[in-house]
Amino acid sequence: MRIYIHTDLEGVSGLDEEEQRQFEKQDLYRQSCEKLMHDVNASIEGAFEGGADEVIVMDGHAGIQRMNFILEMLDKRAEYDPRDESRWWGMLDETCDATFFVGAHAMAGTLNGFLDHTQSSTTIQNFLINGRKVGELAIWATLAGGFGVPMVMVSGDEAACAEARAFFSPIETAAVKQGVGRNKAIAYPLEEARARVREAARRSLALVEQAKPFRPILPIEVKVEYMKSNFCDEAAARPGAERLDARTIRMVIEDPRDVLPWRPFTNAEGRA
């Protein structure tokens, strides 16, 4: 079995203060990246224990210019997927049997979701797929679903895990902390948290056969509500984008890879 692991930073074990994800705070940020690697390795370990033959991992936090992974710390059995602007899904394709999402946070607007946001903490108010408010978990799952790949395991704060259970079933979740307001969390003891990640990963391999890919009905309506109208001024200029009001755009797409309306279209001509 071939497992593709998508990662983010906010939902990593031991991160419990907002400033720990500030890139400018170099030492602190480095520690966060080390913690990320421990969670990633725990999920890799679990995947192999559960019967994976191949594991691919992507460093999913922030833009592709930013490297969060510390490659020398990465479990040697896993393959690192370098990101490429033209393929934000990296090497994920139909040959993968399942995907994990490690270090996840909840969607924008989640009470006590540690660092809750959807794609951007400064520009996006809400992101909706076929009328349902979604976060980055469902956005990734939609992409994976397009390749027929189901989401079977999520780790992150309690809010991210609750969100995962609301969207995906069956799913294995590993909660590593509890958000207290948006900018603080009570982190569970590291050993315990990482054991949970490993255990959820291991158990999730048993779900691969029965889990269904996350597939919103096609064509998919993507609606993005921006926090301010100037962010929308730009987004509304994209071909195929319909502006519903000062802060909202809507797009109808056929290809789940086009779910993020600021990424280049998979079809070079764009979509109407």
Partner 1 sequence: MKVFILTDVEGVTGLVDAAQLSSGEDAYRLVCENLMLDLNAAIEGAFEGGATEVLAWDGHGGRNKLNFIPEMLDGRAAAVDRTHVECIGPDESFQAAFAVGYHGMAGTLNGFLDHTQSGLTIFNWYINGRRVGELVQDALTCSAAGVPLLMVSGDEAACAEARAFFGPIQTAAVKQGVGRSKAIGYPPEEARARIRRAARQAMALVGKVQPIRPILPMEVKIEYTRSDYCDGAAARPGVERLDARTIRWVTSDLRKWH
Q: Exactly one of 192, 233, 242, 254 binds partner 1 (CB under 8 A); which one?
A: 233
Shortest CB 109 distance to partner 1, Å: 5
Which one, 45 or 116, has the nearer CB to partner 1? 116
- Letters for 166-205 (x = contact with partner 1 by CB under 8 A, - = none) are ---------------xxx----------------------
For residues 11 and 176, the answer to whether their CB atoms sit within 8 Å is yes
At 165, the amino acid letter reads R
Residue number with CB closer to partner 1 (30 or 132): 132
Select 26 or 122, whichever has its Cβ closest to partner 1. Answer: 122
| 214: CB partners within 8 A, 6+ apart | 138, 141, 142, 144, 145, 150, 151, 167, 168
Separation of alpha carbons 57 and 101, rounded Å? 10
247 binds partner 1 (CB under 8 A): yes
Token pair listed for 10: 């906010």
CB of residue 259 to partner 1, shortest distance in Å: 22
Stretch that binds partner 1, among 70-78, 107-115, 142-150, 163-171 (CB under 8 A): 107-115
Residue 149 to residue 192: CA distance in whole angstroms? 29
Number of residues that bind partner 1 (CB under 8 A): 23
132 binds partner 1 (CB under 8 A): no
CA nearest neighbour of 12 among 144, 175, 236, 183: 175
- DSSP string of 95-147? T--EEEEEEE-PPTT-TT-TT--BSBTTTEEEEEETTEE--HHHHHHHHHHHT
CA 184 – CA 36 distance, rounded (Å): 17
Cβ 73 to partner 1 shortest distance, Å: 31
Cβ nearer to partner 1, comparing 132 with 212: 132
**Rule CB under 8 A: which residues touch partner 1?**
18, 108-113, 116-117, 121, 125, 181-183, 227-230, 233, 243, 245-247
